[in-house]
């Protein structure tokens, strides 16, 4: 799925923000180590409460505004400080929480490309979903648009450097899950790699 120039998202290299997206700055980020380059895009799946879509709980989690008393499943999230660069809702809306120049806190204890501390050299993209529900067509279209723009901006990232949380932390994580269409995702991104 090759995108036309007006469909490609524009990345501001200086600020790290992507134009045309809803931007909500998460406090859960910090500077990348000196000399670190983006080499990997890590795809995640998330929903809060699990299996419920369309609410604002994920947004509140990334902004440290989640009321952990609002749902019984939220109590383990008390004090958790996490974020991702992007969140793609079920309808395809993309929200940006962390500038690409900064390190988002999405990977946790992880390893990729023979290195640990994957947050240092990655971009985190959360898809609203679960391991057991297929992702929506609108999400794949938005993800293709985003990945193609990121691959254009960061030449070290190729379609082979699109990985799941399950790939970088297999003992802890299973997302984005078996319903995620990796062949489609990589095919949609391959035009710039």
Phi, psi of 77 (to 5 degrees): -85, -5
Q: Give the active site residue among 7, 14, 39, 126.
A: 126
Active site residue 126: yes
Mind telling me the catalytic residues?
126
């Amino acid at each position: 799925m090759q995108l036309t120039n007006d469909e490609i998202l524009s990345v501001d290299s200086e600020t790290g923000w992507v134009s045309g997206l809803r931007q909500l700055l998460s406090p859960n980020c910090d500077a990348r180590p000196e000399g670190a380059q983006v080499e990997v895009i890590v795809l995640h799946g998330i929903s809060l409460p699990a299996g419920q879509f369309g609410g604002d709980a994920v947004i509140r989690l990334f902004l440290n505004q989640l009321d952990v008393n609002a749902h019984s499943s939220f109590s383990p999230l008390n004090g958790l400080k996490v974020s991702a660069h992007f969140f793609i809702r079920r309808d395809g809306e993309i929200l940006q929480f962390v500038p690409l120049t900064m390190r988002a806190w999405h990977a946790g204890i992880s390893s990729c490309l023979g290195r640990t501390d994957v947050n240092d050299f990655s971009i985190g993209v959360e898809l609203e979903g679960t391991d057991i529900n297929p992702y929506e067509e609108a999400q794949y279209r938005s993800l293709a648009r985003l990945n193609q723009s990121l691959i254009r901006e960061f030449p070290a990232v190729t379609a082979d450097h699109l990985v799941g949380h399950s790939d970088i932390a297999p003992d802890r994580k299973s997302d984005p899950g078996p319903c995620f269409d990796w062949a489609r995702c990589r095919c949609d991104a391959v035009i710039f790699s």
